[in-house]
Structure 1
Amino acid sequence: MSVSTIVPWVIGNWKMNPATADVQKWAQQFNQCLQLAPIAQQQCNIAVAPTYLSLISLKENFTGYNRTVHVVAQDVSRFPGTGAYTGDISAQLLQDAHVSYVLVGHSERRELLGDDTQILCAKIKHALDAGLTVVYCVGESLAQRENGEAEAVVLQQVKDIVPVVSADQWEDRIIIAYEPIWAIGTGKTASADDAQAMHAKIREGLKQITAASDRVAILYGGSVKPENAADFAACPDINGALVGGASLSATSFYKIAASFAGKK
């Protein structure tokens, strides 16, 4: 399998949004978009990461669609199973609720909530042990990019998780999302050429780690919009998008998914 044959992923990260009534409205609008102009499963994988409050209800909404749309947990506990961990939700509880995907390592968790390498590796290990697929986020700050450290920082973040990912899990259970921190929620974006260059470096780095390097999906995140999605979709090493603010609009999110579906 070559990089070009990876079925792209478009994942909406809703972060701490929106209200419950708006979730239901979004689900109806997105279903209408898919009804009017279907996106085939083999063209693009589609997923949404809502708050924990909406994981189950949104999953139930998606069962009425004309194609599979996955739900993704925005985070997972570093502790396994069940126990006295107020506020946490373990990988096993997510699996029990038939939630099979989870974000780990988003820069907001790293910077604002103290997720260091040890914590991230614990989360990933428990998620993989429970049978979940991990969407692992990496990215550099503006200062790191301006200092010429971007590639080294991002590749180190990829290497950080090697101890907890087995050889067979790289192909089917790890998705990497490259999100330059300076482009998240700022309105700034890396150019398609800059994003492709970093994705190619990540791909090169993966070749030192796994024989499945050409089969690992690498997504771009950072102010992806309908207006620029096609440019990113045209890049050979960009296999989809992790979409923030634009995913809160059902029509905008649909247009982004359609752009990546058109790549196939």
Structure 2
Amino acid sequence: MKKKIVIANWKMNHDFYETTSFLRNLLKIFFEKKINNKKKVIIAPSFPFLHISNQILQGSSLSLAAQNICQMENGSYTGEVSASMLRSIGIHKVILGHSERRKYFSETNDILLKKIKIALKYGFHIIFCIGETALEREKNEQFLIVKKQLEETVFHCSSLEEISYFIIAYEPIWAIGTGKTATSEEAQTMHRYIRSLFIDKYGEKVSQKMSILYGGSINDLNARNLFSQEDIDGGLVGNSSLEIEKFLKIIQS
């Protein structure tokens, strides 16, 4: 069976002390309570702390992801971080397509496709985010939107090897940071639909191996119901991953 995956997306939170303290305490608890034998836990801290985080987690079962990469390989792009830079400090996973990147930094599907290609070129595993707005759901367009997001990005990958590098994260935009959460039934319906799209494109075997996570105001109270759904393989956690006690409860869910 696939391991459940829980990813902590810290966004622009936690300074140097908070990051290092959190990770050391988390490792201590994992060791003492023997957590994580049936699940994968991935942490995505801010760029400045990826190197020290990697040193702290060295040899443990926890791994790291970057929150973004530049679509350009190198060059005069002030403030950007390249895939090769991240690889040089031992980072092999990246979150792409998060709605906050789409909204605040105008990342289109065309830009995200370029980021996918550069990430795959450097051997990154990609946590790719998709999801609809509240207005799109009100218009019953959520399935069309999710399909379009995949067709214009991930589905450009032609080889089964490339697809094996993806984790899909369904994050209804109306639920991110709002306290609203899709019901477990709503989330399962969308996850089943997403899996059906992968069946149609790449076949049953690939679809069943694909991990599809839910994101959007996951907390220690709703995680168990969400994770118990047949097609939900874990979660991409935002605010609730910033507090170690809440995050541990989600992991143990």
Show structure 1 runs of 4+ deviating over 6 A. Answer: none
Kindly state the Cα deviation for residue 164 of structure 1 after the two structures are TM-superposed. 3.9
User: What SS does the corresponding residue of 2:127 show, helix, strand or coil?
Assistant: strand
CA shift in 2, pair 1:54/1:111, >3 Å: same
- Deviation string for 1:116-152 (max 9, x for gaps)? 0110000000000100000000000000001000111
Matching of residue 6 in structure 1 with residue 2 in structure 2: yes
Which residue in 2 is equivalent to 1:262? none
Check conservation: 1:29, 1:251, Cα contact below 8 A.
no
Aligned counterpart in structure 2 of residue 94 of structure 1, from 86, 90, 95: 86
Bigger drift between 217-226 and 247-256 goes to: 247-256
Aligned counterpart in structure 2 of residue 62 of structure 1, from 34, 57, 64: 57
Which residue in 1 is equivalent to 2:149? 157
- Deviation string for 1:172-209 (max 9, x for gaps)? x0000000000000011001111011000000111111
TM-score (norm. length: structure 1): 0.91
Matching of residue 235 in structure 1 with residue 229 in structure 2: yes
Equivalents in 1 of 2:50, 2:216: separation in Å? Answer: 23
Equivalents in 1 of 2:185, 2:168: separation in Å? Answer: 18
Equivalents in 2 of 1:192, 1:40: separation in Å? Answer: 24
Aligned-pair Cα RMSD in Å: 1.2
User: What SS does the corresponding residue of 2:17 show, helix, strand or coil?
Assistant: helix
- Deviation string for 1:102-121 (max 9, x for gaps)? 00000000011010011000
Aligned counterpart in structure 1 of residue 185 of structure 2, from 165, 179, 193: 193
Matching of residue 125 in structure 1 with residue 117 in structure 2: yes
Equivalents in 2 of 1:177, 1:20: separation in Å? Answer: 27
Matching of residue 40 in structure 1 with residue 36 in structure 2: yes
Kindly state the Cα deviation for residue 86 of structure 1 after the two structures are TM-superposed. 1.1
User: What SS does the corresponding residue of 2:214 show, helix, strand or coil?
Assistant: strand
- Deviation string for 1:187-246 (max 9, x for gaps)? 110011110110000001111111311111000000111111111111010001000000
User: What SS does the corresponding residue of 2:201 show, helix, strand or coil?
Assistant: coil
Which residue in 2 is equivalent to 1:252? 246
**Alignment-mate amino acid for residue 252 of structure 2:** A
Kindly state the Cα deviation for residue 61 of structure 1 after the two structures are TM-superposed. 1.1
Check conservation: 1:199, 1:237, Cα contact below 8 A.
yes
Higher relative contact order (CA 8 A, sep 6+): 1
User: What SS does the corresponding residue of 1:109 show, helix, strand or coil?
Assistant: helix
Check conservation: 2:42, 2:65, Cα contact below 8 A.
yes
Matching of residue 174 in structure 1 with residue 166 in structure 2: yes
Equivalents in 2 of 1:60, 1:165: separation in Å? Answer: 35
Check conservation: 2:54, 2:90, Cα contact below 8 A.
no
Kindly state the Cα deviation for residue 35 of structure 1 after the two structures are TM-superposed. 2.3
Between the aligned residues of both structures, percent identity stands at: 35
TM-score (norm. length: structure 2): 0.95
Check conservation: 1:223, 1:243, Cα contact below 8 A.
yes
Equivalents in 2 of 1:170, 1:131: separation in Å? Answer: 12
Give runs of aligned pairs for residues 99-110 of structure 1, distance below 5 A. Answer: 99-110=91-102
Matching of residue 18 in structure 1 with residue 31 in structure 2: no
- Deviation string for 1:40-92 (max 9, x for gaps)? 34x1010011110111111111126xx41111000000001x32211111112
Equivalents in 2 of 1:223, 1:40: separation in Å? Answer: 22
Equivalents in 2 of 1:164, 1:85: separation in Å? Answer: 26
Kindly state the Cα deviation for residue 165 of structure 1 after the two structures are TM-superposed. 5.4
**Alignment-mate amino acid for residue 103 of structure 1:** I
CA shift in 2, pair 1:119/1:102, >3 Å: same
CA shift in 2, pair 1:130/1:63, >3 Å: same
